[in-house]
Amino acid sequence: MNPDLEREKTLISKKTAVLASKSYFPEPLLGLVSATLAMQLAAKDAILESGSGSDLDDMPVDVEKALRGACLFPRERFDPDRTRAMDLLASLADWIRRSDTPLAAAMLRIDAAQADGRFDPMAAMNAHIAGDDTFFQALETLTPEAPRLPAFLVQAALAPGLEVIGSRIYAKLPKDRSWTHGHCPVCGSPPLHGRLVGKEGARHLTCSFCHVEYRARRLMCPFCGEDDAKKLDYFSTPDEPGYRVETCAACQRYIKTTDFREFDRPSYPLLDDLESLALDMAVQKMGFTRPVLSAWGF
């Protein structure tokens, strides 16, 4: 396996062990997430081994335009290998069918919908890349007991290919130049989670679409760009040490941030987001909203 992916695999193992120790974290959800990540890593390794997307390395980009706020590679230009994504979707679906969870029955409903044409995985993949939320809202009626399952399957199946493309494009952004915007410099999508890194607490955000982690301004709402300190706030709770919620009074949105600088704990943004679900419930009761779904489609 690719050395970077080996390190990622080790980090995921440590993080899932932490989640398993949490009494409030549902075991079926942890099983699904762990199995999904393992399959995604294998798929990503195969993509890298094949050299897929390597043509992007020589693609010219307008860096100066990007640094002014334009994204380098809009999400509609992402063209991951659909065949590999379909194979991963089939593997995920098979795991769910064999699982001892309520999702197994929902998966059978999706199978039936695919057989009679109500669910077209390829069309769903295109809708995800296009950011067509209404497409997936319509699919929720297929599985009322697990309305977000179709979105999860599609999002999870596409993730490895999207991540490879995102990382190749992000490598073109000069590391000695500052990105001063909240959205992803690669695809333009909003972030799903933040981290404070290093002694100085540099702010890193993870893209909700291509999962690129990029450095951003700390005193700024990543969604509307508000930088008036009087309108920006944050809070944490004793029940979730190492996590904070950053809110914006201007747009009434929030983002969660991992701050493990004083803790010896593994951080993996896609799983940090799950570990801190209690904070979502707390901040939403205060009237703030989150403009993106988790990396797991809910």
Domain coordinates in residue numbering, the chain: 3-10+25-170, 191-284
Per-residue pLDDT of the chain (298 residues; tens, 9 = 90+): 788 899 999 999 999 999 998 888 888 889 999 999 999 999 999 999 998 777 887 888 888 888 889 999 999 999 999 999 999 999 999 999 999 888 999 999 999 999 999 999 999 999 999 999 999 999 999 999 999 999 999 999 999 999 999 999 999 988 777 788 999 999 999 999 999 999 899 999 999 999 999 999 999 999 999 999 999 999 999 888 999 999 999 999 999 999 999 998 999 999 999 999 999 999 999 999 999 988 887 7
- HSE-CB of 4 using CA atoms within 13 angstroms: 6
- CA 153 to CA 296: how far, in whole Å? 9
Position 55 scores a pLDDT of 82
Residues linked to residue 253 through DSSP beta bridges, in sequence order: 248, 289
Nearest C-alpha neighbor of 169 from the set 57, 62, 44, 81: 57
- CA 93 to CA 129: how far, in whole Å? 20
Cα angle 166, 3, 85; round to 5: 45
CB atoms within 10 A of CB 215: 14
Buried b (16+ CB within 10 A) or exposed e, 67-102: beeebbbebeebebbbebbeebbebbbebbeeeebe
Residues linked to residue 232 through DSSP beta bridges, in sequence order: 248
- CA 212 to CA 210: how far, in whole Å? 6
| Residue 253 contacts residue 289 (beta carbons within 8 Å) | yes
- CA 94 to CA 66: how far, in whole Å? 41
Nearest C-alpha neighbor of 247 from the set 257, 237, 234: 234
Position 51 scores a pLDDT of 85
| Residue 213 contacts residue 206 (beta carbons within 8 Å) | yes
CB atoms within 10 A of CB 15: 23
List, in sequence order, the alpha helices (H) in 202-276: 269-275
- Give Cα separations from 126 to 120, 180, 187 (angstroms): 10, 30, 16
Torsion of CA 210, 251, 152, 8, to 10 degrees: 40
- CA 118 to CA 6: how far, in whole Å? 39
- CA 180 to CA 221: how far, in whole Å? 11
Tell the burial category of 22 from Cβ atoms under 10 Å away from its Cβ (0-12, 13-18, 19+): exposed
Tell the burial category of 134 from Cβ atoms under 10 Å away from its Cβ (0-12, 13-18, 19+): exposed
